[in-house]
Copies of this chain bind each other. A is one copy, B any other.
Amino acid sequence: MTTLRKASSNAARRSEASRQAILTAAFDLVNEVGYAKLSIEGIAARAGVGKQTIYRWWPSKGMVLFDAFLMLGEGSDGEAVLPDTGDLEADLKAVLRATVAELNDPRYDEPMRALNTEIMHDPALAAAYAERLDGPMKELKRQRLRDAQRAGQLADDLDLDVAVEMLWGPLLNRWLQRGGPLTSEYADAVVETALNGLRPRR
């Protein structure tokens, strides 16, 4: 990879310091001033960088935001995995409660809304998001469900994608549309309802 760097030739000279300053500034600024007032000009000024440096390396404001999120998750990469105590319901509740906590965290609220806004209007960014950020996370979730499925705790014919979306979709939606209080209790109710289904059991 390092040797290939030279192949793309121009990227070699890219200033890592500027890149970091820009991403940090973008993330901080969106928090401070909100999505509506986030501007390339403001990011450049805050980062102590020329506007051209942003335009040179990123195709859109959304991509800057996207990279800022990527940078955040860079340290913890490794081989993250969802908890598996054997108690699927408890594990799912724990994970969904964590999701609720993150969505309610004021430090991430505005930046995540901003990123979602951009994704909503930019298919290219949506694809990048699906591949780089949401994809790995979703695979983890699918993996946990797959393990449970193998253990006979989930239906054999269960579509894991649908299952994941049925668990997280309601949360995401409540958060984006502010369609109700986003609490641990809600997370628990979603897990229970999803596992048991809407129909009466037996």
Seen from chain A, the residues whose Cβ lies within 8 Å of a Cβ on chain B are: 34-36, 113, 116-117, 119-121, 123, 126-127, 129-130, 134, 145, 152-156, 158-159, 161-163, 165-166, 168-174, 176-180, 186, 189-190, 193-202
B contact residues around A158 at 8 Å (CB): 193, 198
* Given A159-B193, A178-B119, A200:B154 Cβ within 8 A: yes
Chain B residue with the shortest CB-CB distance to A60: B36
Contact of A201 (CB < 8 Å), options: B116, B145, B155, B177: B155
A-B CB proximity, top 5 nearest: A197-B197, A169-B169, A169-B170, A165-B170, A126-B178
Contact B113 A120 (CB under 8 A): yes
The A interface is mostly helix, strand or loop, or mixed, namely: helix
The answer to whether A170 touches B176, judged by C-beta atoms less than 8 angstroms apart, is: no
On chain B, the residues within 8 Å of A174 by CB distance are: 165, 169
- A127 to B161 Cα, complex, angstroms: 31
B153, B159, B186: the one contacting A162 at CB < 8 Å is B186
A179's contact among B165, B178, B190, B197, by CB below 8 Å, is which?
A: B165
Among A121, A127, A153, the most chain B Cβ lie within 10 Å of the Cβ of: A121
B155 and A200 within 8 A (CB): yes
Q: How far is the CA of A194 from the CA of B195 in the complex (A)?
A: 9
